[in-house]
Amino acid sequence: MKKTLAVITLLAYLCANIFADGLHSWYSEEVQVSEREISRKNADGVYADFIDRTFSACAHVRITGEIQSLEEARAKAEKVASEKLDSYFKAHKEKEALKSKHELYGWSYDYSLENGGAYVQVQVVVKKEKPKETKNAVNGKDARMELLENPNPGRVILYGSDRLTLVDKISFASEESIESHRVVLTTKKGSNGRSQKNKEAIHFADNPSPLYDTVYYLENTGMQFRLKNIVKGRKTLIIIRTNTYSKNDEVCLDYNGQKFRSKIEKNQNLCWRNIIFEIPEGTITEYSPQFEIEALQDTQMFGTIFVYQLL
């Protein structure tokens, strides 16, 4: 009796393991619901945050006398998984999801002769979107001031009604970054230009701790650089760390003879701030455009350069 029980237990264990080997990590008997944040244009054509909800269900069907092929088994499993989703939507009153199309996500076959033959796994997903709940929107002026004071703008920033994505960054601490962006210092003929590169502890007003950055001191010296990862024609924002305790009032950025000026916003604490250059849509006509910071008479310090585009 004990021997028979041991054999049965062993067979059950082997069958369970053989069956489990065919199951993918995404397989689940229950309907799965997941959410992720995405960004896309809303009805007004402005990029906004949305929540993407994904509903998924799985089913498996073994080859039997009625089902003669793997294709039939897959179709049957897809039908079972879809019905499972529809039952979930009905129970949870997910009317929008009921109108959505079921999509075949994936399947696999187990060709072993155990457990009655081959079986199929199917995952069906239905997606829908709903606007993400947001706090009171920051107006354009406040958003600009936040960028002026932010030493490390994020991967995605809001600027007015635009949502822009970081596409490039120039760090003077990296020789690779300097070379790949073709950073070159320029001086006009007959002028005594001076330049120096140092690692400095710089302070931003809203950041009590010092920020270490490698910066250029430029006097009667300009700086050329090329951008990378650029989409031609898109609105672009170039943000450059700079010091406010200088006699210069503004910085001029040149692109193919077009001048873009940014005022150096002074502050009482003599802290660093960013300068922001708005490059309008349709301006950039190259994948690797060259810009130049025009030479200033008095010493001006420039740190890391951040480049954003409306994608």
Residue 105 and residue 30 in contact, taking contact as beta carbons nearer than 8 Å: no
Residue 265 and residue 276 in contact, taking contact as beta carbons nearer than 8 Å: no
Q: What is the chain's alpha carbon radius of gyration, rounded to the nearest angstrom?
A: 30
What pLDDT tens digit does each residue of the chain (311 aa) get? 444 444 334 333 334 333 344 556 667 788 888 777 666 656 555 556 667 777 888 887 777 767 767 777 778 888 888 888 888 888 877 766 666 677 777 777 766 544 545 566 666 666 665 555 544 444 545 678 888 888 988 899 988 888 899 999 999 999 999 999 999 999 877 778 899 999 999 988 777 678 899 999 999 999 999 999 999 999 999 999 999 988 999 999 999 999 999 999 887 777 899 999 999 999 999 999 999 999 998 999 999 999 999 88
In the DSSP assignment, the letter for residue 237 is: E
Range list of β-strands (E), the chain: 32-41, 47-62, 103-106, 119-131, 156-159, 162-170, 184-186, 194-204, 207-219, 222-226, 236-243, 250-255, 258-263, 272-279, 290-293, 300-309
pLDDT of residue 147: 87
Strands 300-309 and 236-243: antiparallel
pLDDT of residue 63: 72
Enumerate residues 6+ apart whose C-beta is below 8 A from 9: none
Which CATH number among 3.40.50.2300, 3.30.9.10, 2.60.120.260, 3.40.50.11810 corresponds to the domain 140-309? 2.60.120.260
Q: Model's pTM, two decimal places? A: 0.56
- 3-state SS, residue 126: strand
**Residue 78 main-chain phi, psi, to 5 deg:** -65, -40
Task: Quote the CA–CA distance of 164 and 311 in Å, as a whole number.
Answer: 7
271: left (phi over 0), alpha (psi -120 to 50) or beta: beta
- 3-state SS, residue 88: helix
pLDDT of residue 104: 77
pLDDT of residue 191: 77
- 3-state SS, residue 122: strand
Residue 127 and residue 100 in contact, taking contact as beta carbons nearer than 8 Å: yes
pLDDT of residue 228: 94
Question: Position of tokens 């020789």?
Answer: 175
pLDDT of residue 65: 66
